[in-house]
């Protein structure tokens, strides 16, 4: 109980909410870095997933490459990216940039694989019927495949979002700020309440991200598919 009181004291300390090392600033760094990485990850991964999911061409190679990317740990990405950005941009290569590149690399694989899997699970008879009605390939993709596969696609985005939010903590290792700064500072000075408080905020942020995307995924699911899923769960 005494330790929790110390954590509460850190949160209630006015110094924790003011200045260049404040909770609002670190929280903003964490959210903005995560949102930027996720947006770039979607912009890169979604077209790839849609292309290979619709045509099936190059799917094996693309999925294999993304799985290799998923196997590389987040700290490994930072270790590979940081020397390159430092050589190219000198001091500008420290902080936000290497953390962003590493998080984008982390965000891409789940979106590619889920988008591909979602499109390949669409009933082929529906696609054949659409072609029989004279619909072009792009129209089939946007009007038939994507609406049906959207819950699976969003599940990939949801997985990426949670991973990015949780892993953005490591940006502090390369001077990228975020809530991870509090964790590193607390470890260096043995301020365990600060470490616990920062880790707690990261956990709450990740859970909030999970809940937000779960709600978005449910809202994006058509009533017919939602009813079929609910029936499948109860049967």
Please state, for a pLDDT cut of 70, what percent of the chain lies above it. Answer: 93
Task: List the chain domain ranges.
Answer: 22-224
How many Cβ atoms sit within 10 Å of the Cβ of residue 64? Answer: 10
Greater pLDDT, 89 or 110: 110
Containing H/E element for 174? none
Q: What is the pLDDT of residues 158-206, one digit of tens each?
A: 999 999 999 999 999 988 889 999 999 999 999 999 999 999 999 999 9
CATH dotted code for 22-224: 1.10.3720.10
Planar angle of CA 143, 149, 150, nearest 5 degrees: 85
Q: What is the pLDDT of residues 92-117, one digit of tens each?
A: 778 889 999 999 999 999 999 999 99
Q: What is the pLDDT of residues 70-83, one digit of tens each?
A: 788 888 888 888 88
- Answer whether 0.75 is exceeded by the pTM: yes
């Amino acid at each position: 109980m005494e330790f929790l009181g110390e954590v509460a004291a850190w949160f209630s300390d006015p110094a924790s909410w003011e200045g260049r090392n404040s909770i609002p600033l670190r929280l903003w760094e964490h959210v903005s870095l995560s949102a930027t990485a996720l947006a770039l990850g979607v912009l890169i991964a979604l077209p790839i997933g849609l292309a290979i999911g619709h045509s099936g061409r190059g799917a094996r190679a693309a999925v294999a490459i993304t799985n290799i990317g998923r196997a590389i740990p987040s700290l490994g990405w930072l270790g590979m990216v940081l020397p390159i950005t430092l050589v190219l941009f000198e001091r500008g290569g420290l902080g936000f940039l290497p953390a962003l590149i590493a998080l984008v690399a982390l965000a891409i694989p789940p979106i590619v694989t889920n988008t591909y899997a979602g499109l390949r699970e669409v009933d082929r008879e529906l696609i054949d019927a659409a072609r029989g009605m004279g619909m072009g390939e792009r129209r089939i993709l946007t009007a038939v495949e994507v609406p049906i596969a959207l819950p699976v696609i969003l599940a990939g985005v949801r997985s990426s979002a949670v991973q990015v939010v949780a892993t953005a903590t490591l940006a502090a290792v390369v001077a990228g700020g975020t809530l991870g700064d509090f964790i590193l500072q607390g470890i260096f000075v043995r301020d365990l309440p600060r470490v616990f408080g920062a880790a707690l905020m990261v956990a709450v942020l990740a859970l909030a991200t999970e809940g937000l995307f779960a709600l978005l995924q449910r809202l994006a699911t058509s009533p017919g598919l939602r009813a079929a899923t609910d029936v499948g769960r109860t049967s």
